[in-house]
Structure 1
Amino acid sequence: MDSSSGSQGKNSKTSDGCETKEVNNTAQNFVHFTEEEEDLVFRMHRLVGNRWELIAGRIPGRTAKEVEMFWAVKHQNT
């Protein structure tokens, strides 16, 4: 999994001249999934589509919002 996916954004300067990086809301809220969780999300999505609550119900400790956010980040470039 590419760890740079959460660091997309643009650089800006603060009032004291320090450079900061602004990230878009999707990347900022990205939750990292294990390889097993990713595999399950992809397989479940093939079966049930965008039914995030149903998919999240199969992954202990994950919410529908986390699963949907994961899916959105993984597919933003496709």
Structure 2
Amino acid sequence: MADSSHSSDDTLADSREEISQESKLVFSEDEEALITRMFNLVGERWTLIAGRIPGRTAEEIEKYWTTRYSTSQ
């Protein structure tokens, strides 16, 4: 019985992590403008750009940029 409860907890934790990841990919207008300005200045130096935006990782910035400005269409 404890096993089914444990797997339920794992599923709930996975769901929370997915929601957390999705909300992290939502950027404010200020963040978007800063990313664009920084990209124009330093290019694909995601770590440098992320260092200017508290709470953001280089991976989040790169994912945002590639999904928003991907040229492979």
TM-score of the two chains, using structure 1 as the length reference? 0.59
Q: Percent identity?
A: 53
Are 2:40 and 1:70 aligned?
no
Q: State how many pairs are aligned.
A: 51
Distance 1:62 1:48 in 2: 17
Whose relative contact order is higher, 1 or 2, with alpha carbons under 8 Å and at least 6 apart?
1
Question: Which portions of structure 1, spanning 4 or more consecutive aligned residues, are displaced by more than 4 angstroms?
Answer: none
Question: Larger % of strand: which?
Answer: 1
Structure 1 gap segments, 5+ residues each: 1-27
Structure 2 gap segments, 5+ residues each: 1-20
The one-character-per-residue Cα deviations of 1:21-77 (angstroms, maximum 9, x if unpaired) are xxxxxxx96811000000000000000000000000000000000000000010125
Query: Bigger radius of gyration, 1 or 2?
Result: 2
Question: Larger % of helix: which?
Answer: 2
